[in-house]
């Protein structure tokens, strides 16, 4: 047993976080940066990425933006190589980016249904494979973002979203099984957080938002950094070294994952 762990065991590690220009991705990046992690901030919008980097640098962290639409999987290997070249490797990969549609199945086009898979499991698969050589060097960690919508009893209007996220959850488990011997841990989180999209919905549908919050045992929707990002810090650290292949609900106790 190691009784003298570093106060900041992740200090100096390198994390690549997709969809980090806002919301949960930014919250995760901020939490990691506060632990001395050097962060590659990935996303589609340069201005948002730079805004995140400025916040990270204000905390004394090293940060660099990388503009990429994760659906363009042919560009993923080159982006991963660029991140590794810039920082000297990759220790943590967070697949957070997602673009998809909601609504009754009969209202969705093939393209809308496909979009969630392209930005979700397809993109994560590309990032995970490209990052594998770097992650195995020092025992890396992968965190994939899924959703409690996967376990809703009534999946009406959530079909496309939950289908893509369920595929990502299965990919998480498969990678954990195959890459454990490489020293790579792979887990998923299912967060509820006050993202920009949630805040907009709360403003336009206050009664529905209040009803939603009332179903959360802890009584509130999580903060992107303090509730979601801090949990990711724990999952990436040595205290979670024996945890892999798991889906961790970060939803205030709302969902029943069985």
Active site amino acids: 161
55 burial type by CB count under 10 A (0-12 exposed, 13-18 middle, 19+ buried): middle
Sign of the C-alpha dihedral, residues 137, 93, 231, 45? positive
Q: CB of 180 within 8 A of CB of 174?
A: no
DSSP states of 220-244 as a string?
A: SPBPIIIIIIHHHHHHHSGGGTT--
136 burial type by CB count under 10 A (0-12 exposed, 13-18 middle, 19+ buried): middle
Quick check: helix, strand or coil at residue 155?
A: coil
Tracing tokens 């009754």 back to the chain, one arrives at 104
């Amino acid at each position: 047993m190691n009784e003298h762990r570093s106060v900041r065991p992740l200090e100096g590690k390198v994390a690549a976080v997709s969809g980090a220009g806002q919301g949960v991705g930014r919250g995760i990046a901020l939490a990691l940066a506060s632990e001395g992690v050097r962060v590659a901030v990935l996303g589609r919008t340069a201005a948002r990425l730079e805004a995140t980097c400025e916040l990270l640098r204000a905390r004394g962290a090293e940060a660099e933006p990388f503009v990429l639409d994760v659906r363009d999987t042919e560009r993923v290997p080159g982006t991963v190589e660029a991140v590794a070249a810039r920082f000297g490797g990759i220790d943590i990969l967070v697949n957070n980016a997602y673009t998809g549609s909601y609504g009754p199945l009969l209202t969705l086009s093939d393209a809308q249904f496909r979009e969630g898979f392209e930005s979700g499991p397809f993109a994560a698969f590309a990032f995970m494979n490209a990052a594998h050589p770097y992650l195995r060097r020092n025992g890396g960690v992968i965190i994939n973002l899924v959703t409690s919508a996967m376990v809703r009893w009534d999946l009406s209007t959530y079909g496309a979203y939950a289908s893509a996220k369920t595929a990502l959850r299965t990919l998480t488990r498969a990678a954990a099984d195959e890459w454990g011997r490489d020293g790579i841990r792979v887990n998923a989180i299912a967060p509820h957080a006050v993202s920009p999209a949630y805040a907009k919905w709360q403003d336009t549908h206050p009664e529905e938002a209040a009803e939603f919050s009332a179903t959360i045992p802890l009584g509130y929707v999580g903060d992107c950094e303090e509730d979601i990002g801090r949990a990711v810090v724990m999952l990436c650290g040595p205290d979670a070294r024996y945890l892999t292949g798991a889906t961790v609900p970060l939803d205030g106790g709302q969902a029943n994952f069985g």
